[in-house]
Chain A
Amino acid sequence: MLAGIARRVGRRLLASIPALLGVVIVTFTLMRVLPGDPATFFASGPSAGKEEIEELRRTMGLDKPIPVQLVRYLGEIARGDFGRSMTTGQPVVLDIKRRLPASLELTCTALVIALFLAIPLGIFAALRQGSLIDHAVRLLCTLGVCVPTFVSGLLLIYAFYYLLGWAPDPTARIDIFASAPPDITGFYLIDFALTGDWEGWWAAFRQLILPAFTMALFVLAPLARMTRASMLAVLGSDFIRTAHAMGLSRLRIVVAYALRNALLPVITITGIVFSTMLGANVLVEKVFSWPGVASYALDALLSSDYAPVQAFVLLMASIFVLVNVTIDVLYGIADPRVSVA
């Protein structure tokens, strides 16, 4: 079975290469047809004239026709060179290497919180359909979706930092006066744990919890609703009735039989939710000054800074591919029939 999984993963990864190439070409072209000329934007210092703009266009390689630029760009990314960001002045690879762990740490924590809340809530809502709990879950989910993350984020900051003073100031991944952990994985919680610095771990955790919770609230709805719907479908099916008839314990029926079968669509939606969160958490990153990739890409986009936007889109596409492959593998574990196909 392991060999089968490996073969399938390999095939899926190979098949995704044309799609990734397509993504690169589309982003590349799109950036260049968007109105807004980076050379003009970046040269608009207090004394920028025509010559400076032309000079900058030359150094950025924008004076060449688009196909020529594209070929050169493809050659560069094949060598692992993603260009330099004008907004931060750093090579894009370096920026992303520093910022991606921040985004991943936030997204993963948020997803774990969301799953821990959503699955039990979904199950209870399904078991007590139409009850007060069901309505309460529905209300919570609706609120989570309706309130944009920057509003809930700002509200949480206002309550927990500004009024109560429980949370640390919502700036960055760790208190500015404390020192960051040694760079091992880039995930502060893991790095602090590895070095045994529990005081640091607690500081990083406190910093993380508000933004993670804000994001979790936002994705609670799709997860909980999907769990509920899927559980309802499964609970109404024949084998559950049979299980009841056989006199199996209620806990065993719900967790071992119903939940396992109901999880498939939840896993699918979790994959999609994860990918969307990673790219769409820009508002949370902005509100909490979280140095992640999404806010990085947005800043770049607003100033027509091509290199970071292109690299960001490619990164997101690659992550999406990886997540999908992972989901595939998880399917196989949740439902062995999938592996056979």
Chain B
Amino acid sequence: MAQSRAETLRYVTGATINTLDLTMFGSTREAFGLSMNVYDRLFRFGRKKVADYWVFDPDTITGELAKAYSISPDNKVITITLRPDATWHDGTPVTAEDIKWSLDRAVSAKSLAQPQFTTGSLTSVDQFKIVDPQTLTVTLEKPDRLALANLCVPYAIMINSKLAKKNATAEDPWAQEWMKTNTAASGAYIVESHKPGESTVLRRNEKWVGGPGGALPNFKRVIIQTVPEPATRANLVERGDADLAIDLAAADLPTIETSAKAKLVSMPQTNGFTHIAMNTQLAPFDNVKVRKAIAAALPYEDMFKAAIFGRGKKLYDGTWSTTPPDASFPQPIPNKTDPALAKKLLAEAGYPNGFSTTFSFNVGAAATAEPLAALVKEALGKAGIQVEIQKKPDAEFNTLASERKMPFFTDGATAWLPYTYYFFYLYFTREQRWNFASFKSTKMEELTLDARYQTDKAKYDDDCVKMIEIFGAETPLIMLWQPNHDAAMSKSVDGYTYQFYRQADFRDLKRV
């Protein structure tokens, strides 16, 4: 073996890396994680310490392949200078031509990148212009506040265009087929072997210049191994045979915390939320009083303890009434358990004797959703609402959610770009998969539209506060909590950072 065990990071995961090109439809979260380590983007989010742990910071954006950038006074032109010493894995230099091709691919090829980029008003190849071999500009029609942030997301990979073009065909001009199993990257790690569903081995790119201060990552080799059974993953870390695991079963976490060889890093998923959604277009949930009655009937404390063992941040018990204290979101909403109020609201809504409905969740989330559903059923039963629990396989649940056929269900979500405006744009406007509650509000649409192109910080914050007010008044869905992101790792591993795409970034990790 070329590298010693200490220089190797063994990461065990339950899922499969199903593609090396994460912009492919159906790519898994594990594929996102791999791509962040193998491909560079133009920019990246910084990280900050929250309590004892590192969390990504969407408010500091620094260059990865970009050495520097400037934004024109009207906020419409971003000028990007590339790192002069950056090279692709095959040794050829990174040029503005490659970058333009990569950006063109993101907005032209049918992929997951295309819809993501529209959220930053990046839609046409004409927006990307080469100035000289080291410089290019991105021009926006309107000053979209998320343009730059979109260049940090996992989909915004920068590709070795000469290599990719060599493997493109007439039907597949963007080499999408080839890139599923091959890489044309410049990132910190190089894929040494890739067996989907078994293991993927990475070796450090010794010529990587995209790191903070040009530093190379600490681990020379990374082995990503698929181990489907969560208990086995926990055992492996506990015994010190594996170095890192995320997405463990809650029941295994206390053992890790007290283990001699392993430690647990837990922090709330600052960009996520677990919720109970009500279909605001279907009776009886089209009545705001019914929604508020449900919000008053739920036993939040019990749910918080039973479902996630209190491992997270509460998004209920807010102390405000109509206007939130600040423009941040998700933040605690003033929902409290109050059965008397629930009964009163139901009577006012015209359902003094309650009604019957179904409550759905997906099998994949059963560990937390099952106890939650049982408590919902019990609490609502006391208010006269008969609830039938429906447990759906993941594919079916997704289809039903997409077709808006479930009246009442629980689900979770995480936003890649955790800005208040983006949360409301993504989850509470338009008829699309992520508008869980099928919420329709002209005022909300107007506010998100204004916030999107708003360059005045005070006005933007004001828009956001108003969005939260509408949310509080209308209660389209009930915020429950931000569950913790738990990463179990060997005691010698340090520097783990919670990333917005909820995967391990090996570049931050080191053995101490």
Most-contacted residue by chain A among B199, B232, B241 (CB, 10 A): B232
Q: In the complex where A176-B10, A286-B229, A287-B232 touch, is A89 in contact with B19 (Cβ < 8 A)? A: yes
CB neighbors of A among B175-205 (8 A):
180-181, 195-199
Q: A197: shortest Cβ distance to chain B, in Å?
A: 16
Q: Is the CB of B228 within 8 A of A286?
A: yes
Tell me if B232 and A44 are in contact (CB < 8 A).
no
B16-55 CB contacts (< 8 Å) to partner A? 16, 18-19, 24-27
B457 contacts the other chain (Cβ, under 8 Å)?
Answer: no
User: A29-49 vs B: 1/0 string, CB under 8 Å?
Assistant: 000001111101111111111
A70 within 8 A of B: no
B232:A53 contact, CB within 8 angstroms: no
Given the interface pairs A289-B227, A289-B229, the reply to whether A56 lies near B25 with Cβ below 8 Å is: yes
Whether B110 pairs with A55 at a CB distance below 8 angstroms is: yes
A88 within 8 A of B: yes
| In the complex with contacts A46-B415, A286-B228, A295-B228, A88-B393 CB distance below 8 A | no
Q: Does B399 interact with chain A (Cβ within 8 Å)? A: yes
Residue pair A43, B199 in contact (C-beta under 8 Å)? no
B399 touches A157 (CB 8 A): no
Q: What are the residues of chain B within 8 A of A36 when measuring CB–CB?
A: 393-396, 398-399
Known interface pairs A44-B398, A45-B112, A52-B115. Does A86 touch B18 (Cβ–Cβ under 8 Å)? yes
**Which residues of B lie under 8 Å from residue A161 when comparing CB positions?**
235, 239
| Option from B16, B195, B395, B402 in Cβ contact (under 8 Å) with A304 | B395
Q: Quick check: is B226 within 8 A (CB to CB) of the other chain?
A: yes
The reply to whether B241 and A44 form a contact with Cβ atoms under 8 Å apart is no
Inter-subunit contact B399/A35 (CB<8 Å): yes
B-chain residues with CB within 8 Å of residue A85 when the two chains form the complex: 18
Query: What distance in Å separates the Cβ of A109 from its nearest Cβ neighbour in chain B?
Result: 19
Decide yes or no whether B298 CB sits under 8 A from chain A.
no
Q: Which of A166-174, A250-258, A332-340 contacts B (4 or more CB under 8 A)?
A: A166-174
| A89 contacts B232, C-beta separation under 8 Å | no
Note all chain B residues with C-beta closer than 8 A to A56.
25-26
Interface residues of A in 37-95 (CB under 8 A from B): 37-38, 40-53, 55-56, 59, 85-90, 95
**Considering the chains assembled together, what is the distance between the CA atoms of A165 and B225 in angstroms?**
21
| Cα of A41 to Cα of B402 in the assembled complex, Å | 9
Please tell me which one of the listed residues A41, A47, A286, A299 contacts residue B112 in the complex, with CB atoms under 8 A apart: A47
Count A-B contacts at CB 8 Å: 160
Please state if B119 and A47 are interface contacts (CB–CB under 8 Å).
Answer: yes
Cα A304 to Cα B396 in complex, Å, equals 8
User: With A and B bound together, what is the CA distance between A85 and B26 in angstroms?
Assistant: 10
Q: A89-B19, A90-B196, A171-B236 are in contact. Are A47 and B10 (CB under 8 A)?
A: no
The answer to whether A291 and B197 touch across the interface, beta carbons within 8 angstroms, is yes
B225 CB to closest chain A CB (Å) equals 6
Given contacts A43-B25, A154-B231, A171 and B225 within 8 Å (CB-CB): yes
Contact of A89 with B398 at beta-carbon distance under 8 Å, contacts A49-B432, A176-B223 already known:
no
* CB atoms of A176 and B26 under 8 A apart: no
Contacting A42 at CB < 8 Å: which of B25, B197, B434?
B25
Q: What B residues does A287 contact at CB under 8 A?
A: 229, 232
When the two chains form their complex, are residues B115 and A35 in contact, meaning their CB atoms are under 8 A apart? no
For the complex, give the distance between the alpha carbons of A53 and B5 in Å: 44
Tell me the minimal C-beta distance from A233 to chain B in angstroms.
42
Verify B235–A291 contact, CB threshold 8 A.
no
Give chain A nearest CB distance to B245 CB in angstroms: 11
Closest to B397 in A: A36
Once bound together, how far apart are the Cα atoms of A295 and B242, in whole Å? Answer: 22
Q: Are A38 and B395 in contact (CB under 8 A)?
A: yes
**Is B436 interfacial (CB-CB < 8 Å)?**
no
Given A46-B415, A52-B25, A162-B239 contact (CB < 8 Å): yes
A46 & B228 in contact (Cβ 8 Å cutoff): no
Within the complex, what minimum Cβ distance (angstroms) separates A133 from chain B? 36
Q: Which of A89, A158, A170, A171 contacts B180 (CB 8 A)?
A: A89
B416 interface hit (Cβ, 8 Å): yes
Interchain CB contact under 8 A, A41 and B227: no
A171 touches B415 (CB 8 A): no
List B contacts of A86 (CB < 8 A): 18, 25-26
Considering the chains assembled together, what is the distance between the CA atoms of A53 and B115 in angstroms?
11
Asked if A303 is an interface residue, CB under 8 A from chain B, the answer is yes
Residues on B with beta carbons closer than 8 Å to the beta carbon of A47: 112, 115-116, 118-119, 426
Q: Digitize B343-362: 1 where CB-to-A-CB distance is under 8 Å, 0 elsewhere.
A: 00000000000000000000
Cα separation A169 to B116 with both chains bound (whole Å): 40
B1 adjacent to chain A (CB < 8 Å): yes
Q: A88-B197, A162-B239, A172-B198 are in contact. Are A46 and B116 (CB under 8 A)?
A: yes
- CA of A157 to CA of B227, assembled, Å: 14
| Residues on the B chain within 8 Å of A291, using CB | 195, 197-198
Q: A289-B226, A299-B197 are in contact. List 14 more A-B contacts (CB 8 A).
A: A35-B396, A37-B399, A40-B398, A40-B403, A49-B115, A87-B16, A88-B18, A89-B18, A89-B26, A89-B181, A286-B228, A289-B227, A289-B228, A304-B396
Pull 20 A–B residue pairs with CB atoms less than 8 Å apart, ordered by A. Answer: A34-B396, A35-B396, A37-B398, A43-B25, A43-B26, A44-B398, A45-B116, A46-B414, A47-B118, A47-B119, A48-B433, A53-B402, A88-B197, A154-B231, A169-B239, A171-B12, A171-B236, A177-B1, A177-B5, A177-B223
